[in-house]
Amino acid sequence: MIVGVPKEIKTDEYRVAMIPVGVEELTRAGHKVLIQSGAGQGSGISDEQYAGYGAEIVVDAASIWGRADLIVKVKEPLAPEWPLMRRGQIVFTYFHFAADRKLTDVVLGYDDLASYEKGGVYSALIGPYANRLSLKFPIDGKIYEQPTPAPRPAPPGAPPAPVRTFIQHSGGNGFQKRVWEAVMHDGAEPSLTLTIKDPDGMGGMPGNVTVTVTYSVRADNSLVLDYTGTTDKPTMLNTTNHFYFSLNGGAKDISDEMVTLYASRYTPFDHAIDLPNGMVASVTGTPYDFQKPVRIGDRLSLPNVSQPVGGTDIPGYDTSFLVDGVVGQMRPVARVDDPDTGIVMVAFTTQPGLQFYTDNIGGQVKGKKGAVYRNHWAISLETGKAPDSPNHPNFASAEVTPDKPMHEVTEYRFSTLR
């Protein structure tokens, strides 16, 4: 295949993010990359950088349009000026090769910023407290309280939704709703460092807090997220990224994907309040046992595997697991294999827990390039602390102090089975 990158794009049919590492992977796979001189200038990528990764630099666009099988444009996914990246640190696309050498976008999302702003957390950075947190919670012996959220809209004809006793993903104050400061680092393994600051009392949380997240794309096509957080008084921090992974490229639901979770324990929920009941239970003999590979579609319709959505129980997982191994050390948390594309993703983390979510929407959403995402169209592997951990001393603590800053790392490694 010949991939062409002209200065000016003539169609929006393709929007492949062409960065130097992407060129290298294409050329390693035996494809030819033609780049018009100056095509990367607006994104700070020189002809020399592209050539160093194996691209052929051409002067005129005519040869590109005449020879290329696939036309792409330079859209640096880590560029700080890209609003979709700075607002809630949304990862718009992430490509990997399928077994047939087809570039496959493994992250679901939207085409425009307005769709992200309407709501949802497609592949966004979540914080300061990801997942669910009760309105009242203790920190250093003192009780703090979050603002009471508005009730969720009830379906037509249904009784009003009950008043919620928790906030999910920090609500309207969540990092996913905010614009971050961003610094780009180019090179063989490009990265983007984002920083956000919360004043004391923001969203009911104490402390002047600074959170920094660095996203790095490694030469082996792995994606690394490095989180740090500091505060001037004890507070709670629980950050994650809500990637919506579809290793089949969003072509269909996730039923055929094989899932392994390196977690022998989970935190059961009290579904009357949609919060953990405080227990830690073994997954053995339950629908939550993924210690060996499981075709996820065989589990989605099992009894007691459901999530309340808009007053209706939707089959699927939204379950908190405790990752095996030593907390604070990098270790495997999950593996997902797609039999159609051959793409394999293995997640590693230093975090104590994982929220495993199977995109239980009970309807449909318009996604990238007009695609329609339906129920169970993606898998989320949200590494972090357990839901409502401040109210359960037996859960790993999310507390951060001036003397104990936060530092967590999560990595997603991609490969292809031939």
For the domain made up of 113-416, the CATH class stated in words is: mainly beta
Q: Quote the tokens at residue 290.
A: 């993924």
Mean pLDDT of 287-304: 93
Beta carbons within 8 Å of 156's beta carbon, 6+ residues apart: none
Angle at CA of residue 380, ends 330 and 370, nearest 5°? 140
pLDDT of residue 135: 93
Specify the DSSP element, H or E, that contains 222. none
| Of the listed ranges 83-97, 237-251, 309-323, the one predicted with least confidence | 83-97
Amino acid at 102: K
d(CA 200, CA 278): 29
Of all residues in the chain, what percent carry a pLDDT higher than 90? 47
d(CA 94, CA 107): 6
For the domain made up of 2-76, the CATH class stated in words is: alpha beta
Query: 310: pLDDT confidence band, cut at 50, 70 and 90?
Result: low
Beta bridge partners of 258: 295, 337
pLDDT of residue 9: 57
Ranges for all domains in the chain classified under CATH 2.70.98.10:
113-416
Query: 288: pLDDT confidence band, cut at 50, 70 and 90?
Result: very high
Burial of 301 (0-12, 13-18, 19+ CB in 10 A): exposed
Query: 124: pLDDT confidence band, cut at 50, 70 and 90?
Result: confident
Amino acid at 91: V
Query: 35: pLDDT confidence band, cut at 50, 70 and 90?
Result: confident
> What is the residue-averaged pLDDT of the chain?
83
Dump pLDDT digits (tens) for 183-223: 877 777 888 888 999 999 998 999 999 999 999 888 787 89
| In contact, 222 and 413? CB cutoff 8 Å | yes
Query: 393: pLDDT confidence band, cut at 50, 70 and 90?
Result: very high
Q: Which residues are catalytic, by number?
A: 242, 382
Mean pLDDT of 312-316: 79
pLDDT of residue 77: 40
Cβ neighbours, 10 Å, residue 263: 23
d(CA 76, CA 205): 35
Ranges for all domains in the chain classified under CATH 3.40.50.720:
2-76
Helix (H, G, I), strand (E, B) or coil at 27: helix
Between 38 and 393, name the one with better pLDDT. 393
Mean pLDDT of 300-305: 84
d(CA 104, CA 97): 6
| Of the listed ranges 74-83, 127-136, 390-399, the one predicted with least confidence | 74-83
